[in-house]
Each structure stands twice: as C-alpha cells, then as structure tokens.
Amino acid sequence: MPSPHPPSAALDESAEDLARERALVERLGASAETDGFVPFDRFMDRALYAEGIGYYTGPTNPLGRLGDFYTAPHVHPLFGRALARRVQQVRDRLVPEVPFRVVELGPGDGTLAATVLEELGREPDAAARYSYVLVERSPSLRTVSLERAQTVGAGAGISVATEEGLGSSGPFVGVVIAHEVLDAQPVRRLVYRREGWQELGVRGIGDRLEPAESRPSRPLPPNPPAAPEDGEIWEHAAGTTTCVRAISDHLASGVAIVIDYGMGAAELRSAHPTGTLAGVRRHQPVEEPWTHPGHVDLSTFVDFTRVRADAARFGLCELAYSSQAEALGRWGFDELLREALRSAPSAEARLRTQLAAKSLLFGFERFQILELAPAGGVVWPIT
Ligand SMILES: C[S@@+](CC[C@H](N)C(=O)[O-])C[C@H]1O[C@@H](n2cnc3c(N)ncnc32)[C@H](O)[C@@H]1O
C-alpha cells in the first residue's frame, strides 16, 4: 500500500462511482445489526470485496502508478527477479521429477507474476520445471492477472492457471508467494473503555456512514492485549490466520514467502496505540476512510507476532524473518542490480534503475519477509 502523503485526497467521483457507493451503503445497511451498527471487519469486507462494487472487485484496476497505490513489484522488475531467484533455489533443492508449483496468493494486477514468470522462463527447461497458479479473491483482478501472466508464461511455455483456493487441487510441492495480501484482510477494531473492549464500526446516517461504537455482539478475538490503556485500539484480522492455516494445510514441501508491512505486537502497541488503519486514494491518505466505501483502499499493519505464532501452531517452521532489504540481499539482489545496470540502454535508464533499487532497499522499511516451511519436510538453508 505505500505511497500516501498529505494532503488528504479529494474524491472526484463520477455519477457511476456515486451509484456504486450508494449500492454499497445499502448493502451494508442490509447487513447491519438491529441498531444499524456494522462492525468494522464486516464493513471492510464489503467495502473491499462486495461483488462487482467493492474496491478490489469494481470495474477499475486500483493498482499501479495510474491507480491509487503501487507495491514493490510495480517499482522495478528487480523485485520480482530477486523473488524468482529464491523460487529457483527452492526448486533446485527438490526432487526434479516432482511437479513444482508457484502459487501466488492475491496477485492483484499480475505485475509480480509477470516478472517472476519472465525470470523463470529464462531457464532452458522452464516449461517442464514450473507451473504457476494465481489465487485471487477478486474476480475482476483474477481475469486481469491471468491474462497478464498467461501472456508472459506462454513465451516460456510455463502453464498459468487460476484456482479458487490455495489447495483447491490438493496438496502441492513448491513456493507460495503472498505479497501484500495479509494487510488487505478485514480487521475487527476494538477500543478499550472503562467497561471493557468495545467494537468499532460504522453506522448509516441517511446515505452517509459515520464511525460508531457498540458493545461486542461476538466473543472477543483470542489473546487481547494485557493491561490496555483507556482508548487503546486493538486490530485483529482473522483472515491472516486463515491464510497461514491454508499454507500449512496444502503446502506439502517447499517454502511460503509472506511479504507485508507490519511489525511485532509489542512494537505495534507502543508505536500505534490507536491502530494502523489506513485509507488511500490516488496515492494520498484519506482521513475518514469509511466515507467513500468502494473507492478507498483500506489496510492495516500486519501483527507479525500473531502470524508467526499461528505458523508455529499450525506446524510450519520459520526459515527467516527479516526486513525486505535483508531478504533481497539473501536472494541475490546485488548481482541482479549489477546486471541491470550493465545492460541499461542509457545513462538515464541506469539512473532510473539506481533510484528504483534504492527505493526497494530503503523505501519499504516497514516491510517484513517471513519464510515458512512445512515442519518435518526438507529443511531449507536460507541462503
Ligand atoms: C494490496 S493488494 C496486493 C496485490 C499484489 N499482491 C501486489 O502486491 O501488487 C491485495 C490483493 O490480495 C487480494 N486478496 C485479499 N484477500 C485474499 C484472499 N484471501 N485470497 C486471495 N486473494 C486475496 C485482493 O483482492 C488484492 O488483489
């Protein structure tokens, strides 16, 4: 999601945008509790993923420089190339006869898939070595990413397909890539008051949505923060657990690479006592992200303490947990950068590559890369 900088984005909406937004508010109203309250996770789920009208499921591609935000794969192909190096490394350590899959969770517009496929396609026998599977929740982005990835995959003879879920066709051997997917999972937001944890959400006032607070009508998520301060906000995304569980259930051998911005629970609490919810539109922050559902990206920082604990609980072992810069270094970024600079067609192109490399190494400083492997499988050296 990175790129937001003040001032807050003004929303220039067309009549079509407004109609979509109204349809979303109506749909939210229909799913409200008796007093009109909609818990934040339900709001975020509909705002991002409601069929045909959510932020990711609507008619326009929200990613990239022309959209609302860009991610590391959009900065420069060097990112995807480095990741492809890691895929090749894992593949090379496996039994060659075993079909090897690269499964990308939440590929968005397919930018990362296209680069990884291009790099894998340089191997002479790539067609026999790899297949690529896209698991994308949004039907419209599923189509966009499939077209893009298939075009590149066809050049190298690597088959590309989409599947409903991580293990839709059973357990597999390979690499799972989850780049900026966990931060897009709907979150419950709870605020601590004298009477205990209260649920945050929204309530419809006419055709607008206002922030609202209510007594929780469901049990609290597990492990609430100890000794909370009055007004402290606790964000809990159940979807991150579901993703880690799916990896553990279906990845028979290989590595899962989770890349996202976030930090450990203690640091999250001290640095962000009122939560990390961010709304972004056209590369700028939106101060009241509930005001234009379907037109604003919503995300929160990933609580990596919880993700790592879930991974351990589900029997995955941790190969690495590091900053993006460290992981890129391990995956051979330096050599790839040297190659890219050597083959740059002009001084300007070289400069652009240098700036992109600087951004990938130092501009994504809140990003963590977590590598997981099924316990009891092959133990993977991280370099
Ligand atoms: C922030 S975007 C990142 C897109 C892409 N990975 C990138 O970094 O450019 C999050 C993507 O994850 C998808 N997504 C969210 N939850 C998902 C899930 N449970 N399964 C598959 N895709 C999911 C969204 O539809 C969206 O395309």
**String of DSSP letters for 48-72:** HHSTTTSTTTSSS--BSTTSSB--H
Question: What per-residue confidence (pLDDT) applies to 383?
Answer: 46
pLDDT over 60 (residue 6)? no
DSSP 211-251: EEEE--SSPPPSSPPSSPPTT-EEEE-HHHHHHHHHHHHHE
- Beta-strand runs (E) in 60-181: 100-105, 130-135, 159-162, 172-179
Question: What per-residue confidence (pLDDT) applies to 381?
Answer: 52
Token pair in block for residue 34:
């008796």
**What residue's CA is closest to ligand 1, atom 14?**
106
pLDDT over 80 (residue 102)? yes
Among 66, 75, 176, 181, residue to substitute to test ligand 1 (most atoms within 8 Å of Cβ): 181
* CB-count burial class (<10 Å; 0-12, 13-18, 19+) for 98: middle
pLDDT one-digit tens code per residue, 228-262: 999 999 999 999 999 999 999 999 999 999 999 99
Instruction: Ligand 1, residue 179: give the atom nearest the CA.
Output: 6
Question: What per-residue confidence (pLDDT) applies to 94?
Answer: 82
pLDDT band for position 7 (cuts 50, 70, 90):
very low
59/20 Cα distance (integer angstroms):
10
Beta-bridge mates of residue 374: 316
Question: What per-residue confidence (pLDDT) applies to 106?
Answer: 98
Distance 298 CA to ligand 1 centre (A): 12
pLDDT one-digit tens code per residue, 178-221: 999 999 999 999 999 999 999 999 998 877 899 999 999 999 99
* CB-count burial class (<10 Å; 0-12, 13-18, 19+) for 26: exposed
372/380 Cα distance (integer angstroms):
10
Arithmetic mean of pLDDT over the chain:
91
Range 15-374 classified under CATH 3.40.50.300: no
Distance 33 CA to ligand 1 centre (A): 28
Name the nearest CA neighbour of 57 among 25, 110, 20, 27. Answer: 20
What residues flank ligand 1, with Cβ below 6 Å?
56, 63, 71, 73, 105-108, 111-112, 135-138, 141, 179-181, 184, 239
Task: Tell me the mean pLDDT in the region 272-292.
Answer: 92
Cβ-based neighbours of 258, under 8 Å, separated by 6 or more: 178, 182, 307, 369, 370, 371, 372
Distance 349 CA to ligand 1 centre (A): 30
pLDDT over 90 (residue 40)? yes
Among 68, 137, 242, residue to substitute to test ligand 1 (most atoms within 8 Å of Cβ): 137
Question: What per-residue confidence (pLDDT) applies to 11?
Answer: 57
373/383 Cα distance (integer angstroms):
14
Question: What per-residue confidence (pLDDT) applies to 15?
Answer: 80
Give this prediction's pTM.
Answer: 0.94
pLDDT over 90 (residue 65)? no
Token pair in block for residue 372:
């997981």
* Backbone dihedral region for residue 64 (phi beyond 0: left; psi -120 to 50: alpha; all else: beta): left
Q: Are 282 and 201 spatial neighbours (Cβ–Cβ below 8 Å)?
A: no
pLDDT over 70 (residue 12)? no
pLDDT band for position 45 (cuts 50, 70, 90):
very high
Angle, helices 77-92/333-342, rounded to nearest 10 degrees: 130
